[in-house]
Amino acid sequence: MRSWGTAVHKSVNGLLGYEGLEVINPEGGTDDAEEEALRGRWKQEDRDSYWKMMHKYIGSDVTSLVTLPVIIFEPMTMIQKMAELMEYCELLDKADECEDPYMRMAYASAWAVSVYYAYQRTWKPFNPILGETYEMVNHKGITFLAEQVSHHPPMGVAHCENEHFTYDISSKLKTKFLGNSLDVYPVGRTRVTLKKSGVVLDLVPPPTKVNNLIFGRTWVDSLGEMVLTNLTTGDKVVLYFQPCGWFGVKRLNILYFRAGRYEVDGYVYSAEEEPKVMITGKWNTAMSCQPCDQEGEPLPGSELQEIWRLAPTPQNDKYQYTHFAHKINSFDTAPKKLLASDSRLRPDRYALEKGDMSKSGSEKSRLEEQQRAEKRTREAKGEKFTPRWFNLTDVVAPTPWGDLEIYEYNGKYTEHRAAIDSSNVADETDVTSIEFNPWQYGSSSS
């Protein structure tokens, strides 16, 4: 049986004989160093300029310190990315319908792992504007709403619901810039309530490392423990995300490696800390489970059962999007009378989606200046920003990476949406013509 411990970040510069090497994507080949480097995000002159700007931030949290060029962005915001966890939400439906308490946890943990294929994308999402929202309907019966409730530090919250579960998250990223890499710590609290059984699940994901930010081909890896706890019964899932192994070819001052990446394994434990179900697989392919004995060995006569498999994905997609990621950006998933604060309507995001890099950059700068103008107006009035759809609670939750203020869904969006849906007035508005408007003080932001 695995002895679970704390994950340790490996640094290539900590490996004897590999000092100063450039680390290349595990999927990369053994092309010459210059060609491999050119596959990175930056031209040589861009990299040099960016490095001069960024080196002073080494060791710092750069979540909202630096203004970045749109060349490294994807046409999606961080609160839209929060919705990607709903792609395989049918796993939570199965967990709710499952009578076996340990298989219930297995399905729920497979749901938590399923998003990591999407999280490996190397493009940066746009930071949401304070007050920005994202709505999604028309996906497997769920209604999803997210709102950006803080700008410094950036913080988004979300609520999702269908007939089987409710999902609530308060999320505040913490980063550590290490030069050519970035450690990302998910300072957040995720709660899922399964309606049939009434159990409440708490999720603590592993940290993520973005490698080769400036030099080489950018790639993302998650490593360490994911813990899913049933707060009602005390049952727990502990999954270990294997770090990418170091081995292979050392050539032209580049280290190529492959072993261990994508692999996830662990157990469902009872409240008495006895292993009940073994879980294994790869977060970019499929996850399976099998009943086990107290030593963690498969029960005789049992079989490995696949419980999640990655859906087919678009070939050669520019942003490595899944079909669901495209659906998130689509107005087809937008409800009637879409909120003007919705991420889809952001002109910088929309311009990037249409391939207009110049307009995207200018619109991004304009929105950032509007945000600063609104802040000045708010401070002059002596007022604080007040979220529309979520309330700040008195709860401050401890996380492995720092304390977190907790917001709760206030139910007003449900009332708002019900009133619209029950209205007999047809909405013939061209959604794309709606002007993006998340501002609390509109007159100061024009």
pTM of the entire structure?
A: 0.84
208/182 Cα distance (integer angstroms): 8
d(CA 315, CA 313): 6
Say what the pLDDT of residue 20 is: 40
* Distance, CA of 297 to CA of 293 (rounded, Å): 5
Per residue in 356-400, pLDDT (tens digit) is 999 999 999 999 999 999 999 999 999 999 999 999 999 998 888
**Residue stretches of the chain with pLDDT short of 70:** 1-68, 214-216, 245-260, 425-427, 442-446
Spatial contact of 282 and 264, defined as CB atoms under 8 Å apart: yes
Angle at 174 between CA 171 and CA 175, to 5 degrees: 140
Residue labelled with tokens 């290349």: 24
Nearest residue to 1 (alpha-carbon basis) of 267, 266, 293, 296: 296
Question: Cα–Cα distance between 260 and 246 in angstroms, integer?
Answer: 9
Residue pair 216/40 in contact (Cβ under 8 Å)? The answer is yes
pLDDT at site 200: 98
Euclidean distance between CA atoms 260 and 258, whole angstroms: 7
Res 223: pLDDT: 84
The rounded distance, in Å, linking the Cα atoms of 299 and 278 is: 10
- Give me the phi and psi of 176, to 5 degrees please: -140, 115
Task: Please tell me the predicted confidence (pLDDT) of residue 260.
Answer: 65
pLDDT score, position 25: 46
Collapsing DSSP to helix, strand or coil, 298 comes out as: strand
**Residue 425, pLDDT score:** 67
Residues whose CB is less than 8 angstroms from the CB of residue 79 and which lie 6 or more positions away in sequence, other chains included: 128, 132, 133, 134, 146, 147, 148, 156, 158, 343
